[in-house]
Structure 1
Amino acid sequence: MCAEMAGSILIADKVPTNRIILKVKLSSAYYSVLQCDTGARTLEIARRERPNLILMDLDLGDMTAFETCRALKDDPQTAHIPVAIITLQGDTEAKIAALKAGADEFLTKPLDELTLTARVRALMRASATSDELRRRQETATALGFAEAPALFEACGKIALVGSTIEEARSWRAGLKGLVGHEIIVQPAQTLLEAISQDQIADLYVISASHNATSDGLRRVADLRSRAGTRHAGIVVVHDANERREAHMALDLGANDIITRGSDPEELALRLRTQMRRKQEADRLRDTMEVGLKLAAIDSLTGLYNRRYALPHVEKIAAEATTNNTPFALMLIDIDRFKAVNDTYGHATGDAVLVTVAKRLRANLRGMDLIARFGGEEFLVCLPATSLVEARACAERLREAICDEVAAEAPNGDPICVSVSIGMTMGGGVDGAPVAPLDALIDIADRALYDSKAEGRNLVTLGSHAA
C-alpha cells in the first residue's frame, strides 16, 4: 500500500546535501517533499504547486530568503503559504529580519529532528486551518455573498500570563511602543475565572518556566478546550533548556513558542503575525456566519445545505488530488424516519432532525464539512483523513446517534433513532485513479443502501475503497 502523505513541503536551498538531509527527515514523517535551489524557482513552484509549507535557506544564490519571502507574501496566490527561514545559531539580526520579511517562523542550524518536526507540525496545522478558511471564502465568493477583506488591522487585546506578575510586567515593559494593541497583565491564578466572565483576549502569552512547566502546558490545553478562547492565538515562553516542553506546547495547540530572554522586538513581531492570523480568521468566520445564513444554511438544523456542500467538497477533492492526500465522504440517513413523522407528526420529526444534526456536529472537527443533503440525509466530508481514521469517525457518529434519546413524543414517550452510513474515500488513495465527485457520491449512496439492506444502524464502505 502507498503511504498517505501528511501534506506537501517545498525545500529551497542551493546546497544539494542540505536539501537531501531535510528531505530524508521530512519524508520519514510522510510529508510530500518538493525541492528547488533558487529564489526564482521557489516563486515558480510555489505558484504552481501551492505547497502547505516552504522551508528556505538564507542564501538562495539569485535572491536572499528575505527577498523571496517578501515576494511570496506580496503575491495573493502564495501569501497564505507559511514560510520558515533557516538561520545560523545565534544570528539575532537574521531572525528579526526573517520575521520582518513576513516569515512565519525561523529555524536555526544545526536542525535537530525533534525541533524540526514539532515546528513543522505546528506550521502545517496553521496551514490546514488557513486553507480551510480560504476554501470557505472562495465558496462564499462563488455563491455571491462574500465581503471584501479588511484593509487595516484593528486594535486587538493581548494578555500576558507570566509565571509571576513581575515577569508579565517585564514583558509589557519590553513591548512598549512595539505593539499597537491593548496589553494587559493577567495573573495566572485568575486566568480561567476571567475567561468564565467573558474577559477574553485575542492573544495569550503563557509562561512555561522550569518551576511551573506543567502549569503552563495545562493552561494551553485549558485555552484550547474553552469555546471563548478556542480560536485565540497562544505564544508560549520557555527556557532554552526546556526544548521537549516547548515541543509539547506546540502539539497541545500553541501557535508559537519563544525562548525566554529573547529580544523584545522578536516577541513583538511574533505577536503581530499571530494577531494578523487571528483577525483574518475571525473575519472569515464572521463572513460565513452572516452570509451563509442567507444563502447556504439549512434553516431547521443550522447545517450547510446541499447548495453550499457540493462546490465546497469539489474544492476539498481538488486539493486532495493535488497534494496526494486522502479524504473521506459519508452519506448518513436516519433509519425509519418516515415512521417517526407518520406516528408522532412532523414537529416531532423536526426535533429528531435537530438533535441528530447537533450530535453529528459535536463529534466532528472544525475543518470537517457537515451538511443536510436532503430530507433526513446528511453529507459529511473529512479532509486529510485516512481510511482508518474515517472508519473510526463513522462508528463514533453512528454510536452518538443511537446511544441516547433523540426526542420526546407528544405523550412523553422517548424516541430513539439510529442511522445508516455509506462511506467512500477520495483523493490520493493508494495510487488509485481519481474518481469525480459525482462518482464518489454515487459509491457512498450505494454503500448507504447496503447498510439499510443489511439491517440498518451500520457503517458500510463503498466497494472501490474496500
Structure 2
Amino acid sequence: MSGDILIVDSITTNRIVLKVKLSSAFYSVFQASSAQDALAICATEMPDLVLVTSELTDMGFGAFHDQLHALPGCRKTPIVALTSEDDAQLRMRRFREGAADVITSPISDTVLLARLRTLMRNAHRDTDQWIKPEAAEVFGFADARATFLRPGRIAAMTPRAHPARDSKSAGVSWHRFYKELSSATTHQLERYDMRRGRGLKDLQTHPDAVLLEIGRARDEHGLAPLAELRTAPQTRDAKIIALMDYAKAPLRPLRWIWGHMM
C-alpha cells in the first residue's frame, strides 16, 4: 500500500467518491462521518494523512486538529481541508487552525494525488528526525528546551524566465508586497533576482523558506525554477512557496506549495 488515509465527511456519497479515487492509487482508506469518529479511528489506526472534506458538524477544525495531534503516534499527521468554496479568507482560517494544506475542489485527480503524496512524504521525513521522548531520557537529552529561537531566513526570488514582471507597475506591486511582509514578520527577508549574476551560485545563505514569483505563467515554464531550487545545495532543504496570480494562472491548482518553517 502507498499509505493510510482517513476521509472525514458527514456525507456518505462524498466519502465513497473519494475512497474510489484513493483506492485506485493503492491507498488504504478509512472513513469517518464525524470528528469524534475520526479521533477514535486515529487512536487505533494512526493514518498517514487525514482528509477533511467538509465543515465538521460536531467540532471546530482547530479543536479537531489539536485533539488529533495530542494522540500518541499522530503528532505529525497532516490534516488536509478540502473545500468547494473558493474563499481566500476560509483558506487562511484553515491554515491558522493547523491545516497542512487547503485544496479547493474541483481538482484533477493527478494534482490531488501529487499533493497528498508530497504531504505524506514530508510528514514521514519530519517524523524520522524526531527521536522518542523515552529515548531522549536514556541518552540524557531530556533537559529543558532552550528559549532562544533564531528568526527564520526567507529568500524572495524572481526566476530567470519572468515575462509577467517586466512592467514597471508589476515591479512596484512586488516591492510594496515585500515591504509590507517585512514589517509584518520577525523573519529575515532578502530579495534575490535569478536573472542577474550567476544565478543561485550568488546565494550565500541557506534560507529556511523560498518565496518564488511565478506570477501569470501561461505555460509550465513558469514552474521550471522549482527543479533548480530543489537541486541547489543552498535551497534543496528549504520550504518553497509559489506566488502565483490567483485569478489568471492556468496552473492554478499548483498555486500554493506550503510548508512549515522549523
For Structure 1 versus Structure 2, the TM-score category normalised by the shorter chain is 0.7 to 0.9
The separation in 2 between residues aligned to 1:153 and 1:87, in whole angstroms, is 35
Aligned to 1:50: 46
The answer to which structure has the higher helix fraction is 1
Cα deviation digits, residues 381-439 of structure 1 (max 9, x gap): xxxxxxxxxxxxxxxxxxxxxxxxxxxxxxxxxxxxxxxxxxxxxxxxxxxxxxxxxxx
Distance change in 2, residues 1:197/1:116 (3 Å): closer
The separation in 1 between residues aligned to 2:45 and 2:250, in whole angstroms, is 33
Residue 208 of structure 1, CA deviation: 2.2
The separation in 1 between residues aligned to 2:221 and 2:172, in whole angstroms, is 17
The separation in 1 between residues aligned to 2:241 and 2:129, in whole angstroms, is 22
Amino acid paired to 1:141: A
Aligned to 2:136: 141
TM-score with structure 1 setting the length: 0.48
Q: Which of the residues 90, 98, 105 maps onto 1:109? A: 105
Cα deviation digits, residues 296-320 of structure 1 (max 9, x gap): xxxxxxxxxxxxxxxxxxxxxxxxx
CA contact (8 A) 1:82 1:123 kept: yes
CA contact (8 A) 2:212 2:240 kept: yes
**Correspondences of 1:231-310 after superposition (within 5 Å):** 231-240=237-246, 242=249, 244=251, 247=254, 257-258=255-256, 274-275=260-261, 279=262
Residue 54 of structure 1, CA deviation: 0.6
Cα deviation digits, residues 277-331 of structure 1 (max 9, x gap): xx2xxxxxxxxxxxxxxxxxxxxxxxxxxxxxxxxxxxxxxxxxxxxxxxxxxxx
CA contact (8 A) 1:9 1:52 kept: yes
Amino acid paired to 2:25: A
SS of the equivalent of 1:158 reads strand
Aligned to 2:215: 209
In the alignment, structure 1 residue 128 sits paired with structure 2 residue 134: no
Cα deviation digits, residues 98-127 of structure 1 (max 9, x gap): 111111111223344233212212212212
CA contact (8 A) 2:9 2:15 kept: yes
CA contact (8 A) 1:89 1:110 kept: no
**Correspondences of 1:336-351 after superposition (within 5 Å):** none
Q: Which of the residues 80, 84, 100 maps onto 1:84? A: 80
CA contact (8 A) 2:208 2:238 kept: yes
The separation in 2 between residues aligned to 1:61 and 1:97, in whole angstroms, is 17
In the alignment, structure 1 residue 33 sits paired with structure 2 residue 19: no
Residue 84 of structure 1, CA deviation: 0.7
In the alignment, structure 1 residue 98 sits paired with structure 2 residue 101: no
TM-score with structure 2 setting the length: 0.80
CA contact (8 A) 1:213 1:245 kept: no
**Correspondences of 1:54-453 after superposition (within 5 Å):** 54-75=50-71, 77-134=73-130, 136=131, 141=136, 144-146=139-141, 153-162=149-158, 163=162, 164=165, 166=172, 168-190=174-196, 193=199, 195-196=201-202, 198-211=204-217, 216-240=222-246, 242=249, 244=251, 247=254, 257-258=255-256, 274-275=260-261, 279=262
Amino acid paired to 1:62: D
Aligned to 2:168: none
Amino acid paired to 1:220: L
In the alignment, structure 1 residue 24 sits paired with structure 2 residue 20: yes
Amino acid paired to 2:46: R
Unaligned runs of 5+ residues in structure 2 are: 166-170
Residue 39 of structure 1, CA deviation: 0.9
SS of the equivalent of 1:97 reads helix
Cα deviation digits, residues 156-206 of structure 1 (max 9, x gap): 111111344545424313424433211111112248645455333211011
Q: Percent identity?
A: 27
Unaligned runs of 5+ residues in structure 1 are: 248-256, 260-269, 280-466
The separation in 2 between residues aligned to 1:11 and 1:61, in whole angstroms, is 14
CA contact (8 A) 2:218 2:249 kept: no
Residue 77 of structure 1, CA deviation: 4.1
Aligned to 1:345: none
Cα deviation digits, residues 250-286 of structure 1 (max 9, x gap): xxxxxxx439xxxxxxxxxx5xx521xxx2xxxxxxx
SS of the equivalent of 2:56 reads coil
The separation in 2 between residues aligned to 1:228 and 1:192, in whole angstroms, is 14
**Count of residues in correspondence between the two structures:** 250
Residue 55 of structure 1, CA deviation: 0.5
Q: Whose Rg is larger?
A: 1
The separation in 2 between residues aligned to 1:31 and 1:192, in whole angstroms, is 43
Cα deviation digits, residues 64-95 of structure 1 (max 9, x gap): 33331232245564231111112232223321
Distance change in 2, residues 1:192/1:99 (3 Å): farther
RMSD value, Cα: 3.0
CA contact (8 A) 1:57 1:65 kept: no
Distance change in 2, residues 1:26/1:146 (3 Å): farther
The separation in 2 between residues aligned to 1:64 and 1:18, in whole angstroms, is 20
Residue 146 of structure 1, CA deviation: 4.1
Residue 239 of structure 1, CA deviation: 3.6
The separation in 2 between residues aligned to 1:100 and 1:244, in whole angstroms, is 25
Aligned to 1:299: none
